[in-house]
């Protein structure tokens, strides 16, 4: 298998042993990698605590991070079979994400770095999702190693971003992102409209299984010619959500049952269609015949099916890392830090704070 490797200027370890901490949303992730080798990937989720509210509650997420973090670090060290003294660096997500949640990880990572005398690396969460694919694993789809440049489509409850990745440690460009809801959020909200529980993704999938995706044609956001001028690679899901709401209201007003299966299938089809249409347009426009999917919404089977089909038609090589590396995790953060170290990048300043809107061009904060 081929993997990205960098020269190691100044004797920097080509396969650095890094512990990575991720607390940007509702998952407390601690991972340990040695270069591209995955040694531990511990994830504690507070998702159940958010279920009754139908979405992630930042204060609940931040409280859960504080409870889970040190036990997760201990478990990751145990799983990897390494001691803190053996580490080459401590890495953490410093953004983008929920500010209060990020701060728990940043505070802990800095203190751990000072306590152990290890270098501190603050890393971009979104680039981390791409870095996950560097780790040796059996991908869900696609073979061989990650090749660059690639288009990356990152879809989760907090993000919907389209990236052009030329180099993981020095050249990542944001092509577009959602201008309102993240795709995962849209799933949650539509699930609620349909009376389905949180999180919405799996529930919509289940309901859509018996539905006809073509029975109701829901709008594809930002795909009209006038929108494509300004928002060629941006996404919008609030109009789609409104359309679903109107449909549901109309069905109820007419006194009939809401066709939940057809609505779910039509909604899911619209989301999947617009995600892949824009991602493949980027592949075509920029002459990059590679697409990487990341983020928790990759768990959606229909997204993977349609992606495989349409990438094959378009002659685009599709890669989807395994789910445990697609959802938020600490290993992907450690992976990027290991690449930064191999490329000879100096540690981050201890003064770096949490940045909820850290731009993707800032791979290291």
Partner 1 sequence: MLLAIDTSTGTSVAVVGRTGTRAERTSADTRGHAELIGRFIQEVLDEAGIVPAELEGVAVGMGPGPFTGLRVGIAAARAFALGIGRPVLPVVSHDAAAYGRSEPVLVVTDARRRELAWSRYAAPASDGLPVRIEGPALTPVAEFDTVTSVAGYVRVDAATIDAGRLGLLALARRDAGLETGPAEPVYLRAPDVTLSAPKRALELGAKAISGLRRDASADGRLGRRSPVSGTWTLRRVAASDLDAIDALEQATFPSDAWSRELLAAELAGEHTHYLVAVDDADAVIGYAGLLAPRGGGQGDVQTIAVAASARRRGIGAALLDALLTEAAARGADEVFLEVRADNPGAEALYASRGFARIAVRPAYYQPDGIDAVVMRRIVPNGHQGAS
- Counting every residue written for the chain, the total comes to 365
**Closest listed residue to residue 171, CA positions, set 148, 147, 154:** 148
CA-to-CA distance for 302 and 267, rounded, in angstroms? Answer: 12
- Cβ burial of 44 (10 Å; 0-12, 13-18, 19+) is middle
Furthest-apart CA atoms within the chain: distance in Å: 73
**Closest listed residue to residue 35, CA positions, set 352, 268, 341, 359:** 341
Considering the complex, state which of residue 14 and residue 47 has its C-beta at the smaller distance from partner 1: 47
Considering the complex, state which of residue 70 and residue 136 has its C-beta at the smaller distance from partner 1: 70
148 binds partner 1 (CB under 8 A): no
- Least distance CB 174 / partner 1 (angstroms): 12
CA-to-CA distance for 361 and 243, rounded, in angstroms? Answer: 34
Residues 303-342, one symbol each (x = binds partner 1 by CB under 8 A, - = not), give: ----------------------------------------
Of 13, 100, 149, 344, the one binding partner 1 (CB under 8 A) is: 100
Of 131, 142, 157, 221, the one binding partner 1 (CB under 8 A) is: 157
Asked whether the beta carbons of 53 and 200 are under 8 A apart, the reply is: no
263 binds partner 1 (CB under 8 A): no
Considering the complex, state which of residue 245 and residue 261 has its C-beta at the smaller distance from partner 1: 245
Q: At 310, phi and psi to the nearest 5?
A: -75, -30
Structure tokens at 152: 């990356």
- Least distance CB 50 / partner 1 (angstroms): 9
66 binds partner 1 (CB under 8 A): yes
CA-to-CA distance for 292 and 126, rounded, in angstroms? Answer: 13
Considering the complex, state which of residue 65 and residue 268 has its C-beta at the smaller distance from partner 1: 65
270 binds partner 1 (CB under 8 A): no
Residues 6 or more apart in contact with residue 259 via CB below 8 angstroms: 211, 215, 216, 251
Residues 272-301 that bind partner 1 (CB under 8 A): none
Of 120, 187, 218, 233, the one binding partner 1 (CB under 8 A) is: 120
108 binds partner 1 (CB under 8 A): yes
Of 15, 137, 192, 304, the one binding partner 1 (CB under 8 A) is: 192
Residues 231-260 that bind partner 1 (CB under 8 A): 238-239, 241-242, 245-246, 248-249, 252
**Closest listed residue to residue 33, CA positions, set 340, 336, 347:** 336
Residues 6 or more apart in contact with residue 335 via CB below 8 angstroms: 18, 20, 31, 33, 36, 128, 131, 132, 134, 135
What are the residues binding partner 1 (CB under 8 A)? 24, 53-60, 62-63, 65-66, 69-70, 73-74, 84, 96-100, 102-117, 120, 157-159, 177-182, 185, 189, 192-193, 195, 238-239, 241-242, 245-246, 248-249, 252, 350-354, 356-357
């Amino acid at each position: 298998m081929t993997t990205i490797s960098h020269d190691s200027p100044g004797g920097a370890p080509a396969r650095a042993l890094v512990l990575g901490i991720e607390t940007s949303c509702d998952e407390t992730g601690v991972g340990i990698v040695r270069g591209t080798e995955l040694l531990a990937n511990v994830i504690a989720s507070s998702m159940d605590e958010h279920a009754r509210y139908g979405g992630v509650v930042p204060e609940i997420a931040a409280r859960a991070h504080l409870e889970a973090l040190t036990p997760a670090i201990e478990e990751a060290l145990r799983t990897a079979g390494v001691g803190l003294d053996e580490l080459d660096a401590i890495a953490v997500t410093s953004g983008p994400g929920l500010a209060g949640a990020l701060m728990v990880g940043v505070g802990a990572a800095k203190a751990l770095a000072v306590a152990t005398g290890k270098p501190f690396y603050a890393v971009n969460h979104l680039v981390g999702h791409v870095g996950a694919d560097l780790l040796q694993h059996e991908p869900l789809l696609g073979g061989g190693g990650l090749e660059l440049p690639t288009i990356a489509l990152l879809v989760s409850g907090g993000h919907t971003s389209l990236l052009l990745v030329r180099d993981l440690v020095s050249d990542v460009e944001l092509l577009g992102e959602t201008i309102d809801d993240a795709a995962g959020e849209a799933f949650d909200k539509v699930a609620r409209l349909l009376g389905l529980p949180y999180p919405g993704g799996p529930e919509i999938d289940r309901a859509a299984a018996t539905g006809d995706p073509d029975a109701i044609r829901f709008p594809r956001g930002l795909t009209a010619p006038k929108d494509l001028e300004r928002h060629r690679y941006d996404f919008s899901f609030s109009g789609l959500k409104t359309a679903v709401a109107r449909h549901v209201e109309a069905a109820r007003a007419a006194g009939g049952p809401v066709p939940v299966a057809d609505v779910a299938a039509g909604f899911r089809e619209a989301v999947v269609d617009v995600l892949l249409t824009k991602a493949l347009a980027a592949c075509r426009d920029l002459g990059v015949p590679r697409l990487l999917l990341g983020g928790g919404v990759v768990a959606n089977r229909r997204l993977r099916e349609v992606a495989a089909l349409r990438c094959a038609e378009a002659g685009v090589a599709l890669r989807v890392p395994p789910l445990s590396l697609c959802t938020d995790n600490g290993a992907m953060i450690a992976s990027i830090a290991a690449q930064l170290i191999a490329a000879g990048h100096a540690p981050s300043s201890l003064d770096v704070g949490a940045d909820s809107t850290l731009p993707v061009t800032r791979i290291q904060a």
